[in-house]
Structure formats: C-alpha cells, structure tokens
C-alpha cells in the first residue's frame, strides 16, 4: 500500500500556546486511520493545518507526494482531500439535493462548465447518495431545517459526492442518536471498502474508533503519544493516563 498522506514534523502555535508539536504520522492508501486524544490535545488543529485552514510553523505535509503547506484550501480540496467539520457545515438555504449537486468534483471548471445546466446523471447520483445515508425522504427540505444529526449525514453525503481520495472526518458520530451510530459506522466502512476512500477519523467514542480503525494515533497536549492497532492502543498505559489525567 502506498502512503497517501505524510505528515512530517508539523508544529503549530497560537500566541503562546503550542497546539501541535512535531507531529509525524502517515496514512496509507485505502486504510482507516483513527486520531484520538483528550480534549485540547490538538487534533482539530492538525486537521486544520492539513487542509490549509491556517499556515503551519514548521514541518511538511505531503498528499500523493505533493507538498501542501503552501497551498490554499480550495486547491487542496481539488486534489482529492476533503474534511468534514465538527460543527457540521452545510448550505442552509438550499435543499438536500442542491447541497449534493454543488458538491460535485470541481477539477474541471471552465466557463462552459460553470454556465451549463446540471446533467441528469448528477441528480440521479445525488439522490442515490441521499438514499445511501437515509435522507432520501427529506431531500427537498432546506438543509438548514434538518436536525443536527441529519445535517451530519448530509455533510457526509456531500463529501462522498465529491469523490475524494482521502476524507478527514472530525468527530463524525458526535451528536448522533446512539441507536443510529452503528448505521453511520457501517456507512463509513462501506465508503472505505466499496468506494475506496481512505479515512482519517478524529473520534471521541472509543467503541466506534476501536471497531472502525485499523491503526490509531493518540495525541495528548499537542504531541503524539502512541500509535498502533486498536488492541494495542486500548491497553497502552500512556493512553489511559492521558485520558484519565486530562482534566
């Protein structure tokens, strides 16, 4: 398996606070990799650095071999790497189908493509994806009127519509009704296996991430603490201490 994403010695500080210190990890293609750690350990900061939301202080981030640290958010997204947001961001005043239609890949966007109407296949695909996440019945509702959990599913569907190679998910099960978490995890797995999308997942729900991920990295106070397969991490004393001693 080739390495899709390589993070090498990345550090980021905000004012006096070091949010990320010398982070090095890699994500192999086709894998599901987990990123865990107590609140404030710097996970979302790392995500933001990867996708170009803010500059990094030092280090390098390479996606399919290309250096990302100087690129801007839309360029990185067009390379095939997307992220979902912790607070779930969707287009509130458009309906679900429209949200998906505008999430098609934007690699080719000449003037002609911009001004053209939507081909019917894209609408079909959008509806199929909505069916996949279970929102088909709500497809004509305004996205802003959906419940938080439904919006999360919509955001996931939008990401799938974009056909990314790598998807960064920021706490995908947070705020979801516990009885529906299994359904979401199952869909994540299917997206990985059937659609070949590599996943890097920040997760607080231990049961979810231990079941889903093949390899897990644990962060604490801005640094990488431990990494390994789920069984190993689960029993790692440092990880346990980090969570128990976090507050």
117 binds another protein (CB under 8 A): yes
Residue 42: closest CA among 56, 26, 27, 63: 56
Q: What is the nearest approach in angstroms of another protein to the Cβ of residue 79?
A: 8
> Considering beta carbons, is residue 35 or 77 the nearer one to another protein?
77
**Are 15 and 39 contacting, i.e. CB atoms less than 8 angstroms apart?**
no
**Are 215 and 33 contacting, i.e. CB atoms less than 8 angstroms apart?**
yes
Out of 28, 40, 134, 230, point to the residue binding another protein (CB under 8 A).
134
Out of 9, 39, 67, 109, point to the residue binding another protein (CB under 8 A).
109
Those residues with Cβ within 8 angstroms of residue 63's Cβ, 6 or more apart along the chain or in another chain: 4, 5, 6, 76, 79, 80, 81, 166
Rounded Cα distance between 11 and 232, Å, is 26
Rounded Cα distance between 171 and 205, Å, is 8
**Sites for another protein among residues 193-232 (CB under 8 A):** none
The 58-63 sheet, strands edge to edge: 17-28, 3-14, 58-63, 66-67
Out of 9, 14, 66, 92, point to the residue binding another protein (CB under 8 A).
92
Out of 9, 17, 67, 147, point to the residue binding another protein (CB under 8 A).
147
From the list 12-20, 38-46, 52-60, 224-232, the region that binds another protein by CB under 8 A is 52-60
Q: What is the nearest approach in angstroms of another protein to the Cβ of residue 202?
A: 16
Q: What is the nearest approach in angstroms of another protein to the Cβ of residue 236?
A: 33
Residue 212: closest CA among 185, 243, 174: 185
- Binding region for another protein (CB under 8 A): 51-55, 72-74, 77-78, 82-83, 85, 89-95, 98, 101-103, 105-107, 109, 111, 113-118, 133-138, 140-142, 147-150, 152-153, 158, 162, 176-177, 180, 183
């Amino acid at each position: 398996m080739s390495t899709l994403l390589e993070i090498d010695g990345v550090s980021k500080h905000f004012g006096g606070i070091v949010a990320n210190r010398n982070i090095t990890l890699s994500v192999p293609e086709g894998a599901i990799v987990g990123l865990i750690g107590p609140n404030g350990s710097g996970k979302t900061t790392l995500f933001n650095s990867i996708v170009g939301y803010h500059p990094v202080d030092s280090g390098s981030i390479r996606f399919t071999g290309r250096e990302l640290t100087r690129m801007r958010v839309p360029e990185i997204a067009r390379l095939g790497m997307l992220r979902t947001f912790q607070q779930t961001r969707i287009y509130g005043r458009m309906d679900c189908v429209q949200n998906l239609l505008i999430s098609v890949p934007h690699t080719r966007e000449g003037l002609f493509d911009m001004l053209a109407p939507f081909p019917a296949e894209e609408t079909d695909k959008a509806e199929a994806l909505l069916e996949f996440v279970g929102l088909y019945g709500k497809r004509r509702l305004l996205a802003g009127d959906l419940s938080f959990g439904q919006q999360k599913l919509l955001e996931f569907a939008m990401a799938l519509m974009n056909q990314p190679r790598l998807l960064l998910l920021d706490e995908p099960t947070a705020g979801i009704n516990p009885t529906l978490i299994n359904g979401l995890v199952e869909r994540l797995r299917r997206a990985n296996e059937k659609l070949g999308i590599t996943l890097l997942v920040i997760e607080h729900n231990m049961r979810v991430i231990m079941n889903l991920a093949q390899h897990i990295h644990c962060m604490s106070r801005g640094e990488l603490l431990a990494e390994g397969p789920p069984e190993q991490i689960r029993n790692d004393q440092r990880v346990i201490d980090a969570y128990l001693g976090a507050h």
